Amino acid sequence: MCDSELHLLKGLRGALEAHRYLCEMGFLHGNINAGNVLLYNIDEEAKKGSQGFLLDVELALVKPPFLNQKETVNAPPIQRTPGVYTLPTTRTHNHFDADPILHSTSDMLGTVQFMAWEVLCAIASGEEIERRPHHDVESFVWVLAYSVMRLVATKMRKDTTVSSKALSNFQKYFKDCFSPGSARTISAARLSLFPLTWTCESLYEDATRQISQTLANLFEELSSTIYMSANPVPKHRIYMTHDKLLNLLDAAIEELETVQ
């Protein structure tokens, strides 16, 4: 059980790095869920990039390499706190592509509670869909949301200032977000971004104060990015990528390390 935001974010980042490496080698995991992402032992020092692990890799889909090209760009300084800026640096952006490979709904792998919205919609409508890296990357976001909500529920049970009603309300919300259900039901919840937007609702104020402002800000940014991937017009969708999510996680990790 993870009991630290920093531990969780570093572990998720490590697993995401492993996933990107698999994609570059031509493998698509296809079943990113809370049970397949393992975190490093918090009592042991782990190198960056090896702080999280993926299980069930042997079930990955084999495809042509997704990596199309790499691009190095300059990253300007970012203000973390008033008067404090990061140093200018460079970042490498990976662009993924692949020949179209369609998989029927009978071939679908994955755990519905953590599937990407597009995949859920395809299952619900009985359509075929090409599984792509961005679908798995979106699943990492739902794993993060699940893990944070689970951590928050644990903290609320230990917080004597939290009423039983507030705890019950949040636990019900958590259950509604991640309980097993039909692909159609879960896709509707995904479209509403329920697992990410509870930090903005006054009803869950006691839950929100269990997390840092850094994590609340991360959820807000993730909500905006995931929302753009669910545009009703497919050609206008902007998907979550490894680089986008890694950059968001890096910024949050750096901020949490600064305040510790």
**Domain extents in the chain:** 5-259
Q: Check: CATH 1.10.510.10 for 5-259?
A: yes
Q: Are 33 and 59 in contact (CB under 8 A)?
A: no
Angle between helices 242-259 and 133-158 (to 10 degrees): 30
Using a pLDDT cut of 90, give the percent of the chain over it. 44
**Residue 148 to residue 9: CA distance in whole angstroms:** 10
Checking if the pLDDT of 78 tops 70, the result is no
Q: Give me the helices (H) in the chain, please.
A: 5-24, 117-125, 133-158, 164-178, 183-191, 194-197, 205-208, 213-228, 242-259
**Which DSSP state fits 195?**
H
pLDDT at 59: 55
Q: Comparing C-alpha atoms, which of 217, 237, 235 is closest to residue 227? A: 237
Question: 110-114, 116-120, 138-142, 206-210 — which is least confidently predicted?
Answer: 110-114
Mean pLDDT of all residues in 140-147: 95
Tokens at 61, concatenated: 């889909």
Mean pLDDT of all residues in 14-34: 87
**Which DSSP state fits 88?**
P
Tokens at 240, concatenated: 């979550």
Q: Are 166 and 156 in contact (CB under 8 A)?
A: yes
- Per-residue pLDDT tens digits for 42-70: 555 555 555 776 776 655 555 555 445 55
- Per-residue pLDDT tens digits for 208-227: 999 999 999 999 999 999 99
Prediction pTM value: 0.79
| Residue tagged 């995991």 (tokens) | 29
Say if strands 89-96 and 67-75 run parallel, antiparallel, or are unpaired. Answer: antiparallel
Mean pLDDT of all residues in 100-111: 47
Mean pLDDT of all residues in 182-205: 89
pLDDT at 3: 66
Q: Comparing C-alpha atoms, which of 253, 259, 169, 247 is closest to residue 205? A: 169
Q: Could you report how far apart the first and last alpha carbons of the chain are, in Å?
A: 21
Instruction: Give the Å distances, CA to CA, from 97 to 68, 80, 84, 227, 246.
Output: 5, 34, 38, 22, 19
Checking if the pLDDT of 16 tops 80, the result is yes
